[in-house]
Structure 1
């Protein structure tokens, strides 16, 4: 979602700020801006265009300084407009009309839940609001509390905030100071590289370490409730457990983090999404590297004792990760014999549920910072379910720190908003969890274990063979590009794959798409089927194939046009109105991973044919860190 970059040093840090924003573009945004301390005052530049346009605007205005903050905004409160863009200023009571120069500049990720009450209180004191954002409440609140010490003002202000925030704040009266704070939204501190003496004293803030790639690899991950005070060549981190507590100095470890700036290079691909689809064989190979068997140690120290205690699994996730969890439910119940439920994380904590202390709570998240999933995890823990495990792509994320156990996928940086390689590597991690539980419960003998290991090792090669089908999917996409609606069908283990395929198509091509279990066609969706409604079917050669064939006949009888992703031996033949793509082989329980790739390619090439912004679809963001 929104991105933050802040920097403090003795050189001009504006190019660093803009480049940091450019590295965060993949998160999605609809406005951007920079504010700096310059010649005894604050100056800013904001835009509703892309970062490239902001860069030119900054150059035209001659913006240069040693202290500054920058932001990419994904609109929550207020429409995408310059007056709603960050950074926000506070001129004090009376606003800009008072004639006072702005004193505080601030950028913010997150959502403040009590902003209306704070706005009313500040308005009564004469503060003038020029935006519809909750963020402007914070900057005026800091100004109202400022008495010569920016850190103290921010500490007092954050004690009054309810909700989620990551903040970076600068002040007109303290040119060599930058203050940050986080609660429920990620923020990292970067230290100037020791091997570059001229920059060793610099300090940085960012919502993602990737923003600092190429600048520094010395990163401090701030914890919930942390505040950080940055000054020339030094910094302090202070923590508090609750807003009423006085901040206390703490030591946070400095980690060497290689943010893989090269991963942001497109190479020969048109879009990051295409690049990431084709990176899946490598991503799966990396995720499975070192797996020699299905042992609890894959999930961390002490995993065996925890996994032997559990009787049930509760999966919490959102979006694409929810569909990964829905697939895992089939595996966990069929192969491991573990009763499993899957919950949409944003709904789970708002309903009454029946907790069981012998439940393993499994969270799934690409970023490890998904606000709804983190909140759902904490809710499950509050109900008395202490055992937790996450399948996550970011080792340093809040999700990994919050969970007792973890399996880290190695998908690498995923730039495209529509998730691809993160999804398939999540499935791989969940399959390992399934077979580990099956083995602990005596449901996996040595021959079966060896067969599953062979299948996993062959998986990257199998995926490569599926990617070779891209030309056929380009031809399908040319037909889909003129459509406005589509249906996706799957049965059993492949129904979640159909759901994910429909999500991908709607996300990036803006074609309305829905997915159903194929057996549900005659219970309503069949009414939609006409020659103008393409129907995509996932047709592996499994126990439900003959049932699926009957469902496909129902579509053809109503004049519907079928696009079928079939295994080589399904004996479904192409004909008028029936288009077939044959995957090279049937892959048993791992078949959902293979069948995902054609649907990703179909969505991608359909979006290309329609001319949409593939990597940054409208209204969406990459890492959803607000509720």
Structure 2
């Protein structure tokens, strides 16, 4: 989602700021901007196009300075327009509000929930607003509190803000100084080294600082950081007294991956990441030689023996991974499991149980709704927490007792692919570890499951070889505006994920149902113009699924079936079949995911959409 980069240096930092924004482009955005302290004034360039255009604007206007902030915005308050793009300036009060920029420049990630109330107060004080954003409120509020010390002004402002935020701000009257603060949205401090010695940096993601510094401090909620040349310090607001006190945070060496990974022979990052799945799965399984709780961290055995149910919290694609895991956990580990959409869980009354293992799933580890749901669960007394996450330095990993780090590598495409399949691998390992602790995993079963897992990369590679057949289907799908997806049992969540992928990147309306639910309503939608995609593994529900398929055919529907080789489902008019290379038992959902990804990808290509950056969406959702 929104990205922040800021810096204080002896050198011109505009190239660093803009390169940092480029590394965050994969998150998705609809406007971008940069502001600097130049010749004693605030200067900025903003664009509703890509960062490349912003670079051209900054170069044309000769924007250059050793102090500045930059931002990519994903619109929440106010339409994507230049006047709503960050950075925002304060505009003084009275007549000064109309005469040009004031003294405060600010960028912000997150949402200020009480912005309307603050906006009304500031208007009464004479401040004039030039945008519809909640962010401009913060700039004016910092200006209101400013009495010659920017740190004190930010510290005075932060307690008035309700919601989630990360901010970076500088002042016209204090060159070579940037102040940052976070509450609920990620923000890191980068300490300059070698050619950047004495410089300090702020970013919403360490990836933005790749190649600039590997010395990273992960700020915590309530932290305010003051960056100056050659020095910086962090203060934290004490919950009891409300005072800010100096604190020390660990400096970590972080080898951040650049978002500008090479595409190689692929047209898009999404296609590249689909084809990286065999390697990502192999990397995720690399250190797994046997099943044991310690795969999830020190103390995992004690935690696993102390729980008798599982609560999974996640959003979007990760929620579908959790929904798949529910079938595994209850079937193999024999442990009651519930799966909650994180954005809903914290806002309803639930029945907490201290003997619950709370499992969060997140690619980025910074998903705001999931983090908030995790904190809510802990506030209810559920302290046994575990995350399945792709980023070892993320907030989710730091907040949980235990963690399993998937090794998918950087995922640039907004629509998740390899992160999803590696999440499924991690959740299957969790299932086996819990089954072992609970006495439901024999040595023979463990050996067979490990054998199947080790063969999984080869099996996925065989599915990828189906791409030409899937491309032929995609040409047909590209002319449609609606689609149904069907699955049963363990594969119903995979149908949900397939529908999500299609709608995310091709903009075709798609819905998924348990196939047995067809006759309870969705069958009314079936016509010759409604393609029905069916996930058909050779499992215990196959014959039931075949009956559901006949219901579609009887109404003239067109079936597109991904079938295991021994299902005895053959192509004929109205029934199109792509045969999967092999049936894979409990791990079959991972294999059946891949052709659905390919179908969504090639359909989007045929429709000419922006595959890697679909409209209105962001990669890392750091606001509610």
* TM surpasses 0.5: yes
Higher deviation after alignment, 412-421 or 93-102: 93-102
Counterpart residue number, 1:182? 182
Aligned: 1:311 with 2:308: yes
Counterpart residue number, 1:159? 159
Structure 1's 370 and 515: CA in aligned 2 closer, same or farther, altered over 3 A? same
Q: CA deviation at 1:91?
A: 2.2
CA contact (8 A) 1:191 1:219 kept: yes
Tell me, which stretches of 5 or more residues in structure 1 are unaligned? Answer: none
CA contact (8 A) 1:567 1:583 kept: yes
Counterpart residue number, 1:129? 129
Counterpart CA distance in 1 for 2:241 and 2:368 is: 23
Tell me, which stretches of 5 or more residues in structure 2 are unaligned? Answer: none
Counterpart residue number, 2:511? 514
Aligned: 1:333 with 2:359: no
Aligned: 1:41 with 2:8: no
CA contact (8 A) 1:42 1:172 kept: yes
**SS of residue in 2 equivalent to 1:238:** strand
Q: CA deviation at 1:258?
A: 1.0
**SS of residue in 2 equivalent to 1:164:** strand
Counterpart CA distance in 2 for 1:323 and 1:100 is: 50
Counterpart residue number, 1:459? 456
Aligned: 1:619 with 2:577: no
Counterpart CA distance in 1 for 2:95 and 2:276 is: 52
Q: CA deviation at 1:23?
A: 0.8
Counterpart residue number, 2:139? 139
Counterpart residue number, 1:230? 227
Q: CA deviation at 1:396?
A: 0.9
Pick one of 204, 209, 220 that aligns with 2:206. 209
Q: CA deviation at 1:255?
A: 1.1
CA contact (8 A) 2:22 2:260 kept: no
Q: CA deviation at 1:349?
A: 1.1
**For 1:294-345, what per-residue CA distance to the aligned partner results, in whole angstroms no more than 9, with x for missing partners?**
1010111111011001010011110000000000000000000000000111
**SS of residue in 2 equivalent to 1:130:** coil
Counterpart CA distance in 2 for 1:272 and 1:53 is: 21
Counterpart residue number, 2:258? 261
Aligned: 1:272 with 2:269: yes
CA contact (8 A) 1:95 1:127 kept: no
CA contact (8 A) 1:335 1:435 kept: yes
Counterpart CA distance in 1 for 2:338 and 2:113 is: 30
Counterpart residue number, 2:361? 364
Counterpart CA distance in 1 for 2:536 and 2:27 is: 34
Aligned: 1:392 with 2:389: yes
Counterpart residue number, 2:13? 13
Counterpart CA distance in 2 for 1:514 and 1:294 is: 37
Q: CA deviation at 1:264?
A: 2.2
**SS of residue in 1 equivalent to 2:532:** strand
Structure 1's 507 and 241: CA in aligned 2 closer, same or farther, altered over 3 A? farther
TM-score, normalising length from structure 2? 0.99
Aligned: 1:580 with 2:571: no
CA contact (8 A) 1:213 1:260 kept: yes
Pick one of 200, 204, 218 that aligns with 2:197. 200
CA RMSD of aligned residues (A): 1.1
**SS of residue in 2 equivalent to 1:220:** strand
Q: How many residues align?
A: 624
Q: CA deviation at 1:241?
A: 4.1
CA contact (8 A) 2:485 2:534 kept: yes
Counterpart residue number, 1:109? 109
CA contact (8 A) 1:35 1:69 kept: yes
Counterpart residue number, 2:478? 481
Counterpart CA distance in 1 for 2:222 and 2:277 is: 37
Counterpart residue number, 2:342? 345
Counterpart residue number, 1:594? 591
Counterpart CA distance in 2 for 1:182 and 1:320 is: 27
**SS of residue in 2 equivalent to 1:552:** helix
Counterpart residue number, 1:4? 4
Structure 1's 98 and 516: CA in aligned 2 closer, same or farther, altered over 3 A? closer
**For 1:60-112, what per-residue CA distance to the aligned partner results, in whole angstroms no more than 9, with x for missing partners?**
11111111100000000001111110000012113655536420000000000
Q: CA deviation at 1:242?
A: 3.0
Q: CA deviation at 1:282?
A: 0.8
Counterpart residue number, 2:63? 63
Counterpart CA distance in 2 for 1:48 and 1:244 is: 43
Structure 1's 466 and 17: CA in aligned 2 closer, same or farther, altered over 3 A? same
TM-score, normalising length from structure 1? 0.98
Counterpart residue number, 2:550? 553
**SS of residue in 1 equivalent to 2:89:** strand
CA contact (8 A) 2:196 2:212 kept: no
Aligned: 1:29 with 2:65: no
Q: CA deviation at 1:250?
A: 1.4
**For 1:328-377, what per-residue CA distance to the aligned partner results, in whole angstroms no more than 9, with x for missing partners?**
00000000000000011111111111111111111111111111111111
